[in-house]
Amino acid sequence: MDRTTRSATRRARKARRLLPDGIENYEVVRMKKTKLHWLIGIALLVIALSCVVVAVAKRSRPSTGTITINNNSSIEIRHLYYSHVGQDDWSADQINATITAGSSKSVTLSWEQPEIRLIGEDQNGCFIYQTMAFGDAIVWTIGNDARFDCGG
């Protein structure tokens, strides 16, 4: 054996003495640690992606809420529509009846956004708009001070 080979053999024996019982190769230990780090990283990534998926699913899932319209004005409300905030995508009429002055009407809606735009139409074809946070119970009170949009 030449000098280089003996030196390498001594280093290998010394390294084996420093390792815990049953492990004879430093490279095996390093490889196991690397695999463990990869597994932990992958597990954390899977958990993070799961959280994102749950959050997106909750946000896009329609929820149901009741909207009560209190007509405290002296004008009849003949139609109620709703739309997304900032968009012109009105629904069909939601009340199919008149909300006379001093009366109330409740409707139940399914909605997927945090806010909803309500649109009321009076007997003259004028509109009133209100944007509200969507939740379990929404109350929209229309008073005599309400400003209706009659297109002019």
Q: Where does a domain end: 45, 60, 75?
A: 60
Q: Where does a domain end: 12, 45, 60?
A: 60
Residue 56 within any structural domain of the chain: yes
Q: How confident is the model at residue 17 (pLDDT cuts 50, 70, 90)?
A: low
Query: Same structural domain for residues 36 and 87?
Result: no
CATH number at residue 117: 2.60.40.2890
Query: Same structural domain for residues 72 and 56?
Result: no
Given the DSSP bridges, would you call strands 63-72 and 77-83 parallel, antiparallel or unpaired? Answer: unpaired
Q: Are 92 and 132 in contact (CB under 8 A)?
A: no
Of all residues in the chain, the percent with pLDDT exceeding 70 is 75
Give the residue with greater pLDDT, 99 vs 58: 99
| Domain with 32 in it | 3-60
pLDDT digits 0-9 by tens, 51-94:
887 776 655 556 788 899 999 999 999 999 999 999 989 999 98
Tally of domains in the chain: 2
* DSSP secondary structure letters along 3-41: HHHHHHHHHHHHHHHHSPTT---HHHHHHHHHHHHHHHH
For the segment 102-122, the average pLDDT, to the nearest whole number, is 90
How far is Cα 109 from Cα 24, in angstroms, rounded to an integer? 69
Residue 78 within any structural domain of the chain: yes
Among 10-14, 80-84, 111-115, 130-134, the minimum mean pLDDT is found in 10-14
For the segment 28-57, the average pLDDT, to the nearest whole number, is 78
Tokens standing for residue 17: 């003495």
Q: How confident is the model at residue 22 (pLDDT cuts 50, 70, 90)?
A: low
Residue 150 within any structural domain of the chain: no
For the segment 127-133, the average pLDDT, to the nearest whole number, is 91
